[in-house]
Amino acid sequence: MLVNRIAPNPDLQRLVDDGYDISVEGGYLIVHGVPYVTKDRVIGYGALLSAYSESYGVPNAITDHTVFFTGTVPHRDDGSSLQEAMVATVYPVPQKTAGRDALCYLSNKPEPIGDMLCSYYNKLTHYINKLETYVRAIDPNVSARRKGSFAHRDIPSVFHYPNSATARAGLEAYEAKLQLNKVAIVGLGGTGSYILDGLAKTSVVEIHLYDGDVIEPHNAFRVPGSMPVDIVYGKRKKTEVLKEIFSQFRVGIHSHADNVTAANIDQLNDCQFVFIAVDHGPSRALIAGHLAAMGIPFIDVGIGVDKVAEAMMLHGRARVSLITSETRHLVNTLPTADDADEAMYGNIQLAELNSLNANLALIRYKQHLQFFTDEERPNSINYKCSWNQIAHQ
């Protein structure tokens, strides 16, 4: 981490010139060594962390007045707590933020707010001045101002640009639950490609794609986004094309341009989670049985569409089944017949059901990793278009 006195823009340079030691780490601007009064009426030090983003070196507009704080609950010099006046949240368990343990989430603003959010300088010095007011009553020589320095530390990430939305929402500790080492998606048709679209936006280190099919016009309509005409007609493998697309966004996408069979199924043995998105029942049975035997959790997905000929309508449905080591006995309840019905799928675009199926699977996956709440803990989720309902069992 390079430390110097030259900040990347005038806003941050003003903090340095005033003697503050600051750094940009991940999606946060950090002011180090900020003094405050502890509950024991002694002076402690903590860091203030503000969500921070910039475009081409210019800070983006500030939309939030709150900051994380690595110190304990601040107090006044007389020992009374500032919790009601300044603290929005006291974390029972330290919240990992930019690699640091945040103990408090501070929320304080002047009324009216005035120019507090016009610059990061104004925002952060507002909190520093509030805390130092009570510090100076104990020791007038203590201050967050020192020699002034700036440092930039790149936090290792799978993404090519920072996920500033996570920092702004204070979700870094939550997102860390999703940082598995290896996840596989078997089947990159409509639902599988939409699963990739969502999974790629999490911090999983490696995403392995398995599919032996090629991109053609009929399946190009069932993947997220769009593709150039030369790709659609180029007979290129799905996994290679999708790897190229998502590698513009992140690293760690691995292409395996083959279907999973008994000959290569051992490649899944070191996965921490697997999504099965195939429409071939015997393949589903093979993969699900192997994963269950290995104790590897997985989600199996499926959609179906029936023509209601007399009404000229379609009846659609989607299913998501989660199998873990505790529920491996349910693997025998998965559909294992060959449900790839060309008369059903050949001329019908199912992007809506594919994306819904994928999103339900991703939510269930994140519930499994304790990212989302999960009171019901269903083994299977079923959606039926006619009823506009999602049932679970």
365-388: pLDDT as tens digits: 999 999 999 999 999 999 999 999
pLDDT at 108 over 80: yes
What confidence tier does 154 reach under pLDDT thresholds 50, 70, 90? confident
Tokens (6 digits) for 214: 């090629």
d(CA 106, CA 276): 43
The per-residue pLDDT for range 174-205, each reduced to its tens digit, is 999 999 999 999 999 889 999 999 999 999 99
Give the DSSP per-residue string, 1-51: -EEES--SSHHHHHHHHTT-EEEEETTEEEEEEEEEE-TTS-EEEEEEEEE
* Domain limits, the chain: 2-159, 179-392
Q: pTM of the predicted model, to two decimals?
A: 0.84
How many angstroms separate the Cα of 346 from the Cα of each of 137, 148, 359?
Answer: 77, 66, 23
- CATH classification number, 179-392, choose in 3.30.56.10, 3.30.565.10, 1.20.1090.10, 3.40.50.720: 3.40.50.720
What confidence tier does 346 reach under pLDDT thresholds 50, 70, 90? very low
Outline where DSSP puts E strands in the chain.
2-4, 21-25, 28-37, 43-51, 54-55, 58-59, 67-69, 87-97, 100-106, 149-153, 182-186, 206-210, 253-256, 273-276, 298-308, 313-323, 380-384, 389-392
Helix (H, G, I), strand (E, B) or coil at 104: strand
Q: Which residues contact 310 (CB under 8 A, 6 or more apart)?
A: none
How many angstroms separate the Cα of 312 from the Cα of each of 14, 306, 309, 384?
Answer: 67, 11, 5, 17
**CB-CB contact of 13 with 7 (8 Å):** yes
Q: If you average pLDDT over residues 328-337, what whole number do you get?
A: 90
